[in-house]
Amino acid sequence: MPSAAPDIRYARSGDVSIAYHVTGGGKLDLVFAAGYVSHLTHVLEQPRVAGFFERLGSLGRLIRFDRRGIGLSDRPRDVPTLETRMDDIRAVMDAVGSTRAALIATGEAGGMATLFAATYPERVAAVALWAPFARGVRSDDYPIGESEGEWQRQLDEMAQGWGTREFCEKGFAETWADLGDDEASLAWYCETLRCGASPGAALTAYRMAMDVDVRGVLPAIRVPVLILHRPAMRADADFMAERIPGARRVEVPGSGSIFIDGAEQTLSEIDAFLATVTGEAEPDTVLSTVLFTDIVSSTERAAALGDKRWRETLESHDAVVRRCLDRFRGRELDTAGDGFFASFDGPARAIRSALAIARAVRELGIEVRCGLHTGECEIRGDKIAGIAVNVGARIASRAGPGEVLVSSTVKDLVAGSGIEFEDRGTHELKGVPGEWRLYAVGSA
């Protein structure tokens, strides 16, 4: 039992409060994100888990938090997207005054951590992942995931038995058996699940894991990455290590929890890894979602309206676009003729901004086409460039009047957002290698 109640604080992320706890100290901040279900205070009632965090806190200032919908944090009704969960990391870091930290994430929280590292490289010193996976559901191009049927079976078991002794006994035997078979350990585990999530919240957390797909993000991660895994997760770990530049993979024997089975090796590997982290680095690339817009048949509209009225229409168009960019945290990078080039730190916000632009300009009697892509961009002063920018521009040129067209990377990253898509098939994009699968946004 801890000697005193942990000092729990709350960070505001949008309209949601995120619970966090800070211990330890040192030059390096460590942000720990637990996958699936967590509870900041109750987990510490198990001495070996508390000891794990105490040791981790000796490596730097340890910042733990319960993700939205879980533990002591607010439980919003909507299923949070990766983008929203990424915002929660930033909110917690801002609340504790952390400008740069090493991220440590377990299970499906690894997707959130990798997206954050690629999007905000200036704020991430390193990333350590325990048992991560790039995609939840098996597919033709990701045969190592679990099938939808397997996921559904587990969801059904959770829906029917969450919090019951029978359900807890099964999970305890699979992951926490090294604690021993005493009644007190099982009771602690059962109560951790019940405190960590209601049945509905648990199902939401598991569906989030099912929806994870960060394959398109992995090559854009440019900070040091350590991947720790059990033998059973070797295929997932290999997939990620092969695609994250310079990633190091370490297999930890056993099959139990990170906190118990092989905890000493896990902590030693993290300690040695963090010791290699150097001082602040100026990133030269960043993961960004680029948006290109263009007025359809602008020459014909200009001829029909005349110079004065067309100039007034363009001024109104520009004002509308800028309002929509501001509303969804977009950054205007350039205007060329009658189009805009902007960037976003999240693909769902970019899609909603594009839809808002397409709707708003119709009131001016014009239509725009919009194209979106998420990829690694080169930082050039206050601008961005590179192949991802070219892809975004080419996608926009394929869009029809009033249409928002996106790459498959954008679609994959907004899983669970409620945004619907229509498959537009594969296309060759001028000047860009390979074939690209494109999707039209149906609704959001």
pLDDT, tens digit (0-9, with 9 covering 90-100), for 178-232 = 887 789 999 999 999 999 999 999 998 888 889 899 999 999 999 999 999 999 9
d(CA 101, CA 237): 23
pTM of the model: 0.92
Q: Is the pLDDT of residue 384 over 50?
A: yes
- Give the model's pLDDT for residue 421: 96
Token pair for 46: 């198990």
Span 9-275 CATH architecture: 3-Layer(aba) Sandwich (3.40)
Top CATH class of 285-443 equals: alpha beta
Residue type, 436: W
Res. 305: pLDDT tops 90:
no
Answer for the pair 376, 118: CB distance below 8 angstroms, yes or no.
yes
Res 252 pLDDT > 90: yes
Q: Are 21 and 40 in contact (CB under 8 A)?
A: yes
Q: Which segments of 162-306 does DSSP mark as H helices, in order?
A: 165-175, 183-196, 199-211, 234-243, 263-275, 298-305
Mean pLDDT of the chain: 92
Delimiting residues of CATH 3.30.70.1230 domain(s) in the chain: 285-443
In the block, tokens 């309209």 appear at: 15
Given a cut of 60, is residue 95 above it in pLDDT?
A: yes
Segment 370-389 mean pLDDT: 95
Residue 283 in contact with residue 122, Cβ under 8 Å? yes
For residue 117, pLDDT beyond 50: yes
Share of the chain above pLDDT 90, in %: 76
Going by pLDDT thresholds of 50, 70 and 90, the confidence category of residue 4 is low
Q: What residues does CATH 3.40.50.1820 cover in the chain?
A: 9-275
The reported pLDDT for the residue numbered 136 is 93
Mean pLDDT of 88-93: 97
Residue with tokens 């319960």: 66
pLDDT at 218: 96
Residue 2: the pLDDT is 44
**Tokens (6 digits) for 148:** 């939808």
pLDDT score, position 1: 41
Confidence of residue 444 (pLDDT cuts 50, 70, 90): low
